[in-house]
Structure 1
Amino acid sequence: MSVQPGWYVDPADTDTRRYWDGEGWLGAPIPVDAIPPDGPPPVEPPPAPVTPAAPTGTVAPTTVVPNGPPHQGPPPGYGPQPGHGPGWGPAAGPPGWGPQGSPPGRVPTAGQPGWVPPPGQPGWPMRAPEPRPHGLVLAGYGRRLVARLIDFGIVFALNIVANGWFVWRWAQEWAPYWQEILRRARRGETSAEGLPLPSERADALLLVILLVATALWLAYEVPAMAANGQTVGKRLMRIRAVPIAADQPLGMARSLSRWSTLGLPTLLWYCAGIGLVLQLVDALSPLFDHPLRQALHDKRAQTVVVEVPHQLASTPSNDRNQPPGDTP
């Protein structure tokens, strides 16, 4: 027995009604409490095709076909280009562009063969990558400065022991002079006549102090750098000096050459502090050297300072630290 045509509650959605024509459902559903119309629902017209609109303010160029009517629309090879905003442009590049060193129709990216920088722009659009000597990261200036301060502290402590008596004797030679200067300053006197000058022994003591200080610095730094490129300060900051040519120990000759540029000017402190100025310039030189961040003493010895990876900074384990098992 067939069901008569009419409006019935939709079994798939009991909140709606649909029209049954005796063979199937027709039309769109209506709410179940709405008054159904007489007869079947009207036939829905098919949707109209949607034509894409051209970008605002853009006029599509007209292509003239020989022996035929003008063709309204973009010519072959033209179309909106990503990154160029609305409008039409050549699919491959600006007018006059041609593939250079790349497959036809492919635009080479910056840095690839065939890439040509736009007019008025530099040939390399990004900063060159930082060099990695022997695959290691260059040490930053902050680490190098802290390592050097640690080493200076150790050398200063050694000088207190080895140079303490000479410094005390030198201070005693100059004590009468400075005491008289302070006495005249308190009385408001500006005359420099009759000041008790130190004896020639003060100059000899100063020279001995500088010689001892230089020798202590040399004995502290050169052997350690020759062995593994690290002093105590560099070891604590996990940096070391390596030759540019190969990742190997510096050796005594290269280590001495490297230290002499920074350490020997200590003897020139005797000459109005000229040595101190030279050492300051050397210490600041890595800030202005690119791309290897070499100080003047690095340039002389052809070395660079790099960071020590964690696995190299740790102490190598021996066989007793290995878990039991078969030996490979």
Structure 2
Amino acid sequence: MSVEPGWYVDPADRETRRYWDGEGWLGAAIPVDATPPDGPPPPEPPPVPVTPVAPAGAPSAETAPGWPPHPGPPHAGHRPQAGPPPGWGPQNGPAGWGPQGTPPGWGPQGTPSGWGPQSVPPGWGPQGTPPGWVPGWPGRPPEPRPHGLRLAGYGRRLVARLIDFAVVFALNVLVNGWFVWRWLEELTPYWREAFRRGMEGNTSSEGLPPISEQAGLLQVAIVAIATALWLAYEVPAMAGNGQTIGKRVMRIRAVPIEADQPLGFGRALRRWTTLGMSTLLWPCFGIGLLIQLIDSVSPLVDHPLRRALHDRRALTVVVEVPATTGPPATDDHPQPSGDTP
């Protein structure tokens, strides 16, 4: 994913704004509080060459003392033009230099001996790039900073999610523990007999204790209660300030892409359903767990905003929470929300 062209705050100078054309910065910067034009900036005019003025009384190139004059046809008003200094070659180079005024041993294009045909050092690429550079890649674009905040790294997000899973697991132990215990009681006779036959090498399934229908109902209840606990834990917290307990510990939060504001209940619910509702599919051969695994690793392949599948659905992005070491400083030029690439 690439950042769309437009006027954005310059990461190198927060007081200015420049035009991003999708690959790099274009044109000159403007003040951050100025109204940018609708399109890209007009091309800058080429610099006007400045002709140096020789001081009064200084000898010119045409009359430098000791320089032989170029021959010219004698005619009225003819003024001899100055040639190269004494001992210099015909191309204004010292005696022994090359035909184009290059030192002895240099190449025909004025490059040191051994350099390439395009004036590049030995071992460099054909376009003058150092060894190991990728042709056509002028440099890595600047990292986006939504609303002036740094994007949260994958390591922080993973640790925050593990902390949240630990909290939800503790809630399940308290609320769902009795249902899990009853479910295990229903399954224990079947698995005990199957294990005994397996140790004896008996592969027959005849006479195994049947699994009651109550075990299936208990399994559905366990998964539904676990999903409801996760929903009650995460959605209200994310709707308020974009932070769960894990995100508070790791100092990260989720914000909408378009503005630095609370997510709201609707957006927080959409963000959670992509990951949380898949819990209901755990009994279906682990399909729900596979969906959650794909969602969890998706920020690794999303560039440049590092969004997971649930972020893309809810149009959110996870950023770092800046550390506050003192009273907030006054800003004469407050940064508009949502204008950083």
TM-score, structure 1 normalization: 0.62
Unaligned runs of at least 5 residues, structure 2:
1-69, 73-82, 84-88, 119-126, 329-341
2:294 to 281, 284, 289: 281
Q: Distance in 2 between matches of 1:77 and 1:215?
A: 83
1:17-32 correspondence runs (5 A): none
State the Cα deviation string for residues 268-319 of structure 1 (Å, max 9, x = none). 11211110100010001111111111000000001111111101xx7989xx
* Matched-pair contact (CA < 8 Å) for 2:91–2:99: no
Equivalent AA in structure 2 for residue 291 of structure 1: P
Instruction: Say which of 145, 152, 172 aligns to 1:159.
Output: 172
| Alpha-carbon offset, residue 122 of structure 1 | 3.7
Among 224, 239, 245, the residue aligned to 2:258 = 245
Alpha-carbon separation, structure 2, partners of 1:125 and 1:281:
33
Q: CA deviation at 1:192?
A: 2.3
SS, match of residue 310 in structure 1: coil
Structure 1 segment 283-322 matched on structure 2, within 5 A? 283-311=296-324
User: Which of 192, 196, 202 does residue 205 from structure 2 map onto?
Assistant: 192
1:100-139 → structure 2 map (5 Å cutoff)? 122-139=135-152
Q: Could you tell me which residue of structure 2 aligns to residue 272 of structure 1?
A: 285
Structure 1: unaligned runs, 5 residues or longer: 1-64, 97-116, 318-328
1:208 corresponds in structure 2 to: 221
Report if aligned partners of 1:78, 1:89 keep a CA contact under 8 Å in 2: no
Name 2:63's counterpart in structure 1.
none
TM-superposition CA deviations, 1:162-212 (whole Å, max 9, x none): 101110111111001110011112212122222213111111111111111
Question: Are 2:242 and 1:229 equivalent residues in the alignment?
Answer: yes
Q: Higher helix share goes to which structure?
A: 1
**In 2, distance between residues paired with 1:252 and 1:76?**
79
Distance verdict in 2 for CA 1:71–1:158, change over 3 Å: closer
Aligned pair in 2 of structure 1 residues 315, 192: CA closer, same or farther (>3 Å)?
Answer: farther
TM, length-normalised to structure 2:
0.59
- Written as runs of structure 1 = structure 2, the 5 A alignment for 1:94-105 is none
C-alpha distance in 2, partners of 1:198/1:78?
A: 97
- The CA deviation at 1:89 is 3.7
Percent pairwise identity:
64
Rg bigger for which structure? Answer: 1
1:78 touches 1:88 (CA, 8 Å); kept in 2? Answer: no
How far the C-alpha of 1:76 sits from its partner, in A, is 11
Whole-angstrom distance in 2 between the partners of 1:77 and 1:207: 88
What value does the CA root-mean-square deviation take over the aligned residues?
3.3
